[in-house]
A and B are shown apart, each in its own frame.
Chain A
Amino acid sequence: AQTVTQSQPEMSVQEAETVTLSCTYDTSESDYYLFWYKQPPSRQMILVIRQEAYKQQNATENRFSVNFQKAAKSFSLKISDSQLGDAAMYFCAYRSLTLTTGNQFYFGTGTSLTVIP
């Protein structure tokens, strides 16, 4: 089974600064998707950004961007110009494309981000 590792249980960043959250994964598949989800105190899971493994170009969504290193199996999230509303738990997720396993999602253990005013 695939595993997703987030080695930073907690991170903090000053408002308006930049922070990078780390994620590594283990897989034998060649094609898959990677995601970053945000879970604010409301516990609602919100998609932040997605990356297709076959694409070399790193995905960006406004202040959020990723550094996808397929060979290293690394998928980090960079948040620029951090805002107070960015404070949340962030989960890295891997989506298998194997139909026999129901296209499963595998989640990391999360990184709790604090934004300091």
Chain B
Amino acid sequence: SQTIHQWPATLVQPVGSPLSLECTVEGTSNPNLYWYRQAAGRGLQLLFYSVGIGQISSEVPQNLSASRPQDRQFILSSKKLLLSDSGFYLCAWMRRTGNTEAFFGQGTRLTVV
């Protein structure tokens, strides 16, 4: 069966520090991968998606970047965090075809102080 791992679960970082959140998927190949952010009391905002290794599409211009160094690994990064980067970050994967849903990781609660 397929599983998705996302870590860390919680993170407190000072303003100006770097960020690296990692997401890996097991049990499938060539997945579409996604990073979402959920601000407090808000919906899910799509940040990045990837349809293949090294292929990253950004939905919203911001202080963050994403990379996909391996087929089932998706990394969200920042060189210098801002207070506004605080939020709940969710990684998700989806099969490229078929009527499947998106499968989500457990999420990372990031607090920038």
Contact = CB atoms under 8 A, between A and B. Distances in A.
Range for the number of chain A residues in contact with chain B: 20 to 34
A60 to B, nearest CB: 16
A50 B99 contact: yes
B29 interface: no
Given A33-B99, A104-B49, A105-B94, A44 B43 contact: no
A13 to B, nearest CB: 20
Given A33-B99, A45-B90, A99-B96, A106 B46 contact: yes
Interface string A42-53: 011101001010
A37 B90 CA distance: 14
A77 to B, nearest CB: 15
Nearest to B88: A43
Interface of B: 32, 34, 36, 38, 42-44, 46, 49-51, 57, 88, 90, 92, 94, 96, 99, 101-102, 104, 106-107, 109
Given A43-B88, A91-B44, A102 B104 contact: no
B32 A47 contact: no
Contacts of B104: 44-45
Contact of A102 (B42, B44, B49, B88): B49
B43 A102 contact: no
A75 interface: no
